Amino acid sequence: MKELNRGTWNIRLVLLVIFAMSLLCELPSVQARRASKSKKRANEKSPKLLVIMLDGWRWDYYDRQKDELPAFSKFLQEGVQAKWVEPVFPSISYPSWTTISTGVYPEVHGILSNYMFDQHLQAVFDYKNNTSVSMEHWWQNAEPIWITATRHGRKALLNRWSRCDVPFDGIKPETCVSYDDVVDGTGSTVDAFRIAVESLQQDYDLVMIYIETIDLIGHEYGPDSPELMEAVRHIDSALSFLLGDMQKVNIDDKVNTIIIGDHGMKALGESAKIVYLNDYINVCDIYKIVGKGPIMTIEPYAQTKVKVYQALQYQEGFDVYLREEIPEDFHYKNGKLVLELLIVAHPNYYLSGFDSDKQIPENLVNASDKIEGGIHGYPDNITEMRTIFYAKGPGFKNGLIHPPIKMVDLYQIFTYLLDIPSRPNNGSWARVSEMFSSARETVSNFWMVTFSICLINLV
């Protein structure tokens, strides 16, 4: 009897393996058929997608003055509000923007900070230098959403969105006004929203708008300042215009609108403690220093690495990591451009660099300088670094307070609403699937469920 049971089990196991192999063989054809259907739907009328990024909008800006923000209140009553969005590390603009656009962590897409140094090419990435950040080689590690959309017949317009002007795999979106082409100010928000409405009335399927106002005010005056609260009310007024205009032209029920931030903001100002690293280490022991503020990376000479590390290891106000010891949950250490030492400031501390041509950027903080009123870039476990996800439209439930999501989840939300296949990403469908009015199964989820059912039946 035992032999019979063992034989039966072996037969079932063989059948299971054969079935699994057949699924693997079938999956590419399923994906191909879905891609084919996606192209056919490109000419059909389906809900369009508007994405508005409010740079520096912290997760609690709405909640702390909601009575003064009627447009946001109406928006959320009719849509979805995630409790917060967990940022990436570092919670700095360029890494965050690129994760939003690609769905992968900085160590995957390669944009590790606003400043980087490529030792192989001897190239500097400086976010304030348009020539340096526009070089194509920085941007070829992960495909952004506007390229994914374009590949599948969706027409995309981006207004001031980071590096939409740089080709990926030789492809550009239909229309791109790059980040550097417009000088922002509070008065430009309504203009940006007007462009969005006009574009959505035309044949654009994806419109992405970037607004910088809140970040600028947050840096200068701080996140708790009257000036910041006034700027938030200004955005609310502009949002009221947008929603009213969409209703006037009868597209409000034909567009899924998503409002996101890229990071939060922490108060700093006069209470900040500046860390001068040249108090602890000698610049002669260092080949290159990159960054300032909340994070800095250092490339010592090979023979001085241990010396520099030990000199910094037990100092106040920051943590220092050897490259191989960087915490895995930073999702940072495997980036191609990671230098030998990573220094992460503690909250309320600010890292100043060296008065040396080895320092990127060259502008340093001196004792007499005024520190910004607000700052970001700290690890994602710092509450003030959290940001927002608000959404409404035919694809979303009404009046839903959704559990927290992660920044890497946004890309798959975009592709789902555009009804196009996602590129490989670090997001989790389980974290976001309950926000939609009627969630479709993804191809991978469908086959996983089918496989599980057959496994139960066989066993």
Catalytic residues: 93
Pairing of strands 206-211, 374-375: unpaired
Sign of CA dihedral 365, 371, 377, 383: positive
Encoded tokens for 270:
């006069």
Contacts of 448 (CB under 8 A, 6+ apart): none
- Given a contact cutoff of 8 angstroms between Cβ atoms, the answer to whether 122 and 348 are in contact is no
Q: For residue 90, is the peptide bond before it cis, meaning its omega torsion is within 30 degrees of 0?
A: yes
- The residue count of the chain comes to 459
- Given a contact cutoff of 8 angstroms between Cβ atoms, the answer to whether 381 and 241 are in contact is no
d(CA 448, CA 24) in angstroms, rounded, equals: 11
How large is the angle between the packed helices 2-41 and 443-458, nearest 10 degrees? Answer: 160
d(CA 242, CA 192) in angstroms, rounded, equals: 10
d(CA 113, CA 96) in angstroms, rounded, equals: 9
Which secondary structure element, helix H or strand E, spans residue 310, and what is its range?
helix 305-312
Pairing of strands 79-82, 400-402: parallel
Neighbouring C-beta atoms of residue 125, cutoff 10 Å = 22
In the block, tokens 């980071």 appear at 162
Encoded tokens for 342:
């990573």
- 390 DSSP β-pair partners: 81, 259
The DSSP 8-state label assigned to residue 170 in this structure reads: T
Half-sphere exposure of 273 (CA within 13 A, CB side): 10
d(CA 32, CA 449) in angstroms, rounded, equals: 20
The DSSP 8-state label assigned to residue 358 in this structure reads: T
Sign of CA dihedral 244, 247, 253, 256: negative
Q: Is 291 left (phi over 0), alpha (psi -120 to 50) or beta?
A: left
